[in-house]
Structure 1
Amino acid sequence: MNEVFDVVVVGAGFAGITAARDLTAEGKSVVVLEGRDRIGGRTYTDDKIGRAVELGGAYVHWTQPNLWREMQRHGLELSTPVPIDRVHWLADGALHSGTEAEFDALAGPGMERFVEDAREHFPYPHDVHTTDIGEIDLETFADRMKRLDLDPAERDMLDGILSYTVAAPDQQAVSQILRWAALYFGDWRVLWESGAYWRIATGTKSLIEAIAAESSADIRLSTPVSAIANDGDGVLVTTRAGETFRAKSVIVTVPVNALNTIDFSPALSEGSQRLADEGHPMRNRKMWVRAKGEIEAFTAYAPLGANPITIAMTEYRLDGDTLIVCFCPDATAIDPDDKDAVQDALRAYVPDLEVVDTDGHDWADDEFSQGTWMMMRPGQLSSAVPDIQKPHGHVYFAGSDIAPSFVGWIEGALESGALAARNVVRDQKAAPQS
């Protein structure tokens, strides 16, 4: 027998939990079906390495309105970053070191050129339809780097900075980073600060648990969905275990790369199915390293292909040791459990660094994500994403991958989940009463 609710929410990440909270506040009966054994989606607070760290999405900022409102609402505070003493970077075949100011003086002009047309293409970045972005949406990161005609050292520095978000430069559209920059008035430095420095002191887990606690939704973990049938009366949602749920509406918040794990009937619209089939190319790795001793706090950069760890940053001090977060564009290029390999990679920047422990999560191999944060392919922002943002009958989509503005961020998940909930409430109110 079908269980009956006003709304089924598929996925218990920030988008799904926010949507559920907002819907129950409107008096809707809601069940949240989550495939994992935890809430949080692509955020994941873990303490294996000796203190709580973020294995997934982590960085927050007061310039993100939905996120900051939730933090203020729940009395959460920011964690102050460790002051960085040195920057190390691999460029033009050699290791260089300097202060942050010295690195910025060398790399900053190139980054300014990289995003200089951001506000031209995205004068109102919350709405991509205010200008024609068709042409810029086809330009790849590789295209732009070639067009800038940088000298080898400057190119390697930019390549290292951008490797935080670029795993496949010939497969990723430059439009997404231009849109991000436009959200920060074209200032790449503020963009980078908002996305790489500030964290929630008590972890992302504390925020999502606080939002969930405000909801009366029935949250069911380890309950992956296999099929969604959309008919004139509503939706029928079926789990892999054969459980069925009847609802007036469903909000699907699973990542784009995992959409094809669900059988939709009728089939998704052409643009939405293209997005599901293409997915995004971010199959990178975030890894934590505990290094012996309180070593000099540093940030390190390398161009793609020069080191499996292209960005490393000192994040915490712990019992006399140093915790370093590492970003690896290719998840298959390094195994976090191979401490010798991790140590060799980091010693390219800090020769005497000694690895004590490591931690990480393989998001690319995780069936419920099949990748990390969204970085769009050429043409997706201008065509496929606007299509999936529209209701498909009684089926609504949400998530940071398709957010109205902050694609790939926790902020994007919050804004997308809240918008989906508002749309469901509006449409259910307007529907003829049976």
Structure 2
Amino acid sequence: MNHDVDVVVVGAGFAGLTVARELGWMGAQVVVLEGRDRIGGRTWTDTRMGEPLEMGGGWIHWMQGHVWSEVTRYKLPVAETPWPDTAHWLVGGTRRSGSAAELLERMNDGMRRSIEDCMEVFKRPYEPTAGNGWRDLDRLSVTDRLAELDLDDEAYALCDAMWSQNFNAPAATGALTQALRWGAVSNGDWQLLLDICSHWRFRDGTVSLANAIRADVSGDVELGVHVARIDERPDGVVVTTADGREIAARACVVTVPIGVLGSIEFTSGLPQPARQVAADGQSSQGFKLWVRARGADQPFIAMAPSDEPLALIQWEHAFGDGGEFTAFSFGTDARKFPVTDLETVNQYVGRLVPGIEVTDFASHDWVGDPYARQTWAMLRPNQLEGVQALATMPGRVTFAGADYARGWCSFIDGAIESAMRAARTLRERVL
């Protein structure tokens, strides 16, 4: 086969950009094909409501070594999402209020015990399928574990709310092993996990890192190109775009989310467990919602169980001098509770936080986005083996991305980690 390039990378999120940079530094000729009209994938610093907003993933932490090394490499400033003062939470449809510290204390025992065996099950978190201790647990959901803990109604509701927010889906659909993996990379400390997930961010947005990595990519990054088919052959890979263009390469790195795998024809076939994951889809089917509002005199957090439209809403910062503020929130089901208009958003928010009025909102339908079909990847029961089968596939087609990461799966850190692995793997195999 005559090769047009050494490697075709499908997708220009953090995994695609990182693997392209690394392969270029190794001397390979690379082209990146991205379906959207922008880079960044499921991270997206967009300007709405008069300010930059992270429409997708945004938080990072120094406990996530792969992304923090990029913060160091590019000297990127970080900023803080403040921890709030007051808290509201729903139990059986009734709102309760107190301090944020009280909220954490009410759920502490249940959250601690829900992952107390995480470091025993995943002794080496970056080798998640090593050993067999995880196999029996992989058939269980998070709510299966919560049901074992004999929690009172309030503690159960709060733990359900926290895990549903983490999964961006009802906790009943999320795999216990997914929760335990997050626990293991957080040293078994659920409050450290909370800090990692929601405290520190890029001061200038995730786009600041995406642009920095893109500047170090030596090959082309082509936007608006949809990949329709990937044909692996003994001496190379042919990637066919939706308009019929064929690109021959020595290898291909696929970085699309699990939800998009079904839109690409893989002629060499995927392992059966992986095909099942692609057919079923993973857990997260919710949404992220930004609101501009007034009526709160101090920073707050509010939480609700997964049967509510919003699982969480949290004050982010004051806006201007008129008493308005900006807050972010997460809902667990984008189809059951669509974000459509201001009146609907006020109804959602009003169930959690008393006395505030939403004046504007911003969101993106990631579930309906043809290049995502999901938010961040959170596995269902019985899916860990299938996803890791993709992450460790032999041959000239390899997978990278937050969905397939071994450590911080579903985070920016996981996307970068998996890209580093993919680049080294292809160098050893075919370059």
TM-score normalised by length of structure 1: 0.95
Specify the alignment match of 1:338 in structure 2.
Answer: 341
Match of 1:8 in 2: 8
Shift of 1:142: 2.1
Shift in alpha-carbon separation, 1:310–1:171, aligned structure 2, 3 A: closer
TM-superposed CA distance for 1:363, in Å, is 0.4
Tell me the alpha carbon deviations over residues 225-283 of structure 1, each in whole angstroms, 9 at most, x when there is no partner: 00011101100000001111000000000001110100011222222222211220211
Q: Which amino acid aligns with 2:109?
A: P
User: Residue 410 of structure 2: which of 408, 429, 432 is its match?
Assistant: 408
- Is the Cα–Cα contact under 8 Å of residues 296 and 356 in structure 2 kept in the other structure? no
What CA distance in whole angstroms lies between the structure 2 residues aligned with 1:2 and 1:287?
48
In structure 1, which of residues 384, 387, 396 is the aligned counterpart of residue 386 of structure 2? 384
* CA–CA separation in structure 2 for the residues paired with 1:26 and 1:130: 30
SS at match of 2:380: coil
Conserved in 1, the CA contact under 8 Å of 2:33 and 2:222?
yes
| 1:80 aligned onto 2:83 | no
| SS in structure 2 of the partner of residue 130 of structure 1 | coil
Tell me the equivalent position of 1:313: 314
Deviation by residue 1:302-325 (Cα, 9 ceiling, x = unmatched): 0111x3011001112221321110
Distance 2:124 2:348 in 1: 41
Matched to 2:257, the amino acid is: P
Q: Report if aligned partners of 2:304, 2:352 keep a CA contact under 8 Å in 1.
A: no
Aligned to 1:432: none
- Separation of aligned partners in 1, 2:162 and 2:171: 13
Matches within 5 A, 1:287-306: 287-292=289-294, 295-305=297-307
Aligned to 1:96: 96
So what's the TM-score if we normalise by structure 2?
0.96
Q: Which residue of 1 aligns with 2:398?
A: 396
CA distance in structure 1 between the partners assigned to 2:121 and 2:113 by the alignment: 14
Question: Could you tell me which amino acid in structure 2 is paired with residue 92 of structure 1?
Answer: G
Structure 1 alignment gaps of length 5 or more: 430-434
**Over residues 177-218 of structure 1, what are the superposed CA-to-partner deviations in whole Å (9 max), with x where a residue is unaligned?**
111111111000000110012111000011011011011120
**Residues 56, 286 of structure 1: 8 Å contact kept:** yes
Q: Which amino acid aligns with 1:255?
A: P
Unaligned 5+ runs, structure 2? none
Look up the SS of the partner of 1:414 in the other structure: helix
Question: Closer, same or farther in 2 for the Cα pair 1:83/1:277, shift >3 Å?
Answer: closer
Q: Report SS of the residue matched to 1:190.
A: helix
Contact 1:336 1:358 in 2 (8 A): no
| Mean CA deviation greater in 402-411 or 2-11 | 2-11
Stretches (4+) displaced over 4 A = none
Aligned residues: 427
Are the equivalent residues in 2 in contact too, given 1:284–1:331 (CA < 8 A)? yes
| Number of the residue aligned with 1:326 | 329
1:63-86 CA-to-partner distances (Å, cap 9, x unmatched) read 110100001111112112234110
> What is aligned with 1:200?
202
> For the Cα contact (< 8 Å) 1:284–1:328, is it kept in 2?
yes
Q: Is the 8 A contact 1:309 1:326 kept in 2?
A: yes
Indicate the residue corresponding to 2:279 in structure 1. 277
CA offsets 1:151-184 (integer angstroms, 9 cap, x no match): 1111111111112123133332111111111111
CA contact (8 A) 2:182 2:408 kept: yes
Equivalent residue number for residue 142 of structure 2: 141
Q: Aligned-pair distance for 1:344?
A: 1.9
Percent identity of equivalent pairs: 38
Matched residue SS, 1:123: coil
Corresponding residue SS for 1:245? strand
